Amino acid sequence: MALLITAVLFNIASLPQQNLIYWIIAAFFISTLILLYSLINYSSAKIISKLELLIYQRTEELLREKSKAENLLTRVLPRDAADELKEHGKVNAQKFKMVTVLFSDIQGFTQITDEIKAEELIDQLDRFFYRFDTVVEKYHIEKIKTIGDAYMCAGGIPKKNRTNPIEVVAAALEMMNHMKEINNQHQPGEEIWELRIGIDTGPVIAGVVGRNKLSYDIWGGTVNTASRMESAGVPGKINISENTYILVKDFFNCIYRGKMPVKNKGDIKMYFVEGIVPNLSENFEGFIPNEDFKIELQLIRLGDLEEFVLEKLEVGLPKNLYYHNLKHTVDVYTQVELIGRSEGVSKKELLILRTAALLHDSGHLIDYSTHEEMGVKLAHEILPEYGYSPEQIEEVSKLIMSTKMPPEPKNLLEQIICDSDLDYLGRTDFIPVSNMLYKELHEHGHIATLHDWNLMQIKFIEKHQYYTNTARRLRNVNKNNQLENIRKWMTEIEKNEI
């Protein structure tokens, strides 16, 4: 702009005298226009700046309100249901085959309400239910609702699992023990709060009800039976149905207490839960689950992990994995258990072994060349959802990495998984399996010809050894036979070429 004014003034100075006045007027007019233009630009910039600030502030406000709404939704609904509601505007009802429903109720609550102040009553209930909420969250159980003194929750929803009967009964024991602790500390003249708990396991329908006031609820015969178990119970006792008893009897001491008629179900057997079986409880006292309890529970939960991982592999693995496919994972998963039991590993070690076998080739979902490292990454992402501790995940990760070629196992568990991973070397189906591995490696550019592959196999098998006594006993003879067969076959090829 300054250059334009300088140029105009220079031109004016060089003009004839008679035209000077006109050019002065023109210059004044141009400079006025320039000044107006600058003022307009300055004002526009200020307006734009203000608008940008306003948009930023409104966006921040909207994000805060959105976050508040989402937090409110997740407080009212399970996260899966809340996500579905946000995405689709509604939540479809779901059927669940195995859910464990718990009802609890305070004995004589109506009488208690007449005897103490409302504020004290609400305060006491709030303390009870806060503790109950903490317990159900610990066991990944879904709180359904509270009505007065009644508390209802359910395990196995919205995420299906096999362990929900055990987890719900364990939670019920903690709730009951909490109430007993409170009663043991009560002062003379204070009310004693007696809790009844009823539990049943079976199918339910779950969904979101309400338009303005949303709530997650469940329906079905299982809900009705659990409610009947509670009403037929005894203060200070956990009353469970036969359905639940069958699924938890290995974890808890239960006493048969008779039958109760239930509409459309006939007579249902009932059991009182007395506590945890001694060998699965701390100090054999039956109150607190010990390490063995947790391992037994994880071994059941392994079935859920197995279902999840195998489904992911079946759907997600590339089609040109002719060897590192679903069948190979199942073979290794089966073999580590066989060898592990034969080698006398503990249940805790067997859990780690089977988990590592399940995930050892899962990294192929991400990358072929670094699948072991990717498998470790997936283990850290998936296993916390299935109750694995950081220490257990680290052990699983080490076992996955020990399968990297060439194998160099450093302990018994690594020896077991390495032997299981190369179990095919001593099996009768060695030739077809070997051909599938060649085809896979060839398509991924890791081997050129079948001749090169067989030379590589001979060198590998000559150096290879099974590490465990079990694998040597089961596979060594066959492995040596395979080696001889490959050598003969290679000799025949060389003769034919001559």
How does pLDDT run across 147-157, given as a tens digit for each residue?
A: 888 999 999 99
User: Does residue 79 register a pLDDT over 60?
Assistant: yes
Identify the residue with better confidence: 23 or 473.
473
**Bridging pattern class, strands 194-209 and 238-241:** parallel
Q: Is the pLDDT of residue 16 over 60?
A: no
Q: What is the dihedral of CA 295, 134, 228, 223, to 10 degrees?
A: -80
Query: What is the mean predicted confidence (pLDDT) over 460-477?
Result: 89
pLDDT confidence of residue 350: 98
Please, which pLDDT band fits residue 37 given cuts at 50, 70 and 90? low
pLDDT at 82: 60
Left if phi > 0, otherwise alpha if psi is -120 to 50, otherwise beta: which for 192?
beta
Q: What is the per-residue pLDDT for 134?
A: 94
Task: List CB contacts of 430: < 8 A, sequence separation 6 or more.
Answer: 424, 478, 482
Mean pLDDT over 218-227 rounds to 94
pTM of structure: 0.79
- Asked whether the predicted pLDDT for residue 470 surpasses 80, the reply is yes
In this predicted structure, the answer to whether residue 84 has a pLDDT above a threshold of 80 is no
To which residue do tokens 């005897």 refer? Answer: 115
H-helix or E-strand containing 234? Answer: none
Write the pLDDT tens digit of every residue in 405-421. Answer: 989 999 999 999 999 99
120 touches 42 (CB < 8 A)? no
Judging by beta carbons within 10 Å of its beta carbon (0-12, 13-18, 19+), is residue 109 exposed, middle or buried?
middle
What's the mean pLDDT in 121-150? Answer: 89
How many Å apart are CA 419 and CA 468, to the nearest integer?
Answer: 7
With a pLDDT cut of 70, the percent of the chain lying above it is: 79
The whole-number pLDDT of residue 484 equals: 80
Cis peptide before 278 (omega within 30 of 0): no
Q: Which of 180-184, 266-270, 383-387 has the lowest mean pLDDT?
A: 180-184
Q: In this structure, is the dihedral angle defined by the CA atoms of residues 164, 166, 149 and 122, taken in order, positive or negative?
A: negative
Has residue 121 got a pLDDT over 80?
Answer: no
Write down the residue that tokens 């950081």 correspond to.
390
pLDDT above 90 covers what percent of the chain? Answer: 56
Measure Cα distances from 370 to 395, 406, 485 in Å.
19, 14, 32
3-state helix, strand, coil in the chain (%, to 5): 65, 15, 20
Alpha carbon distances (Å) from 225 to 174, 204, 236 = 22, 11, 19
Please give the average per-residue pLDDT across 200-229, as a whole number: 87
The average pLDDT across 80-108 equals 77
Least confident of 167-171, 212-216, 274-278, 482-486: 212-216
pLDDT of residue 196: 95
φ/ψ (deg, to 5) at 413: -65, -40
- Residue 3: pLDDT over 50: no
Q: What's the pLDDT at 86?
A: 57
- Give the three-class secondary structure for 321: coil
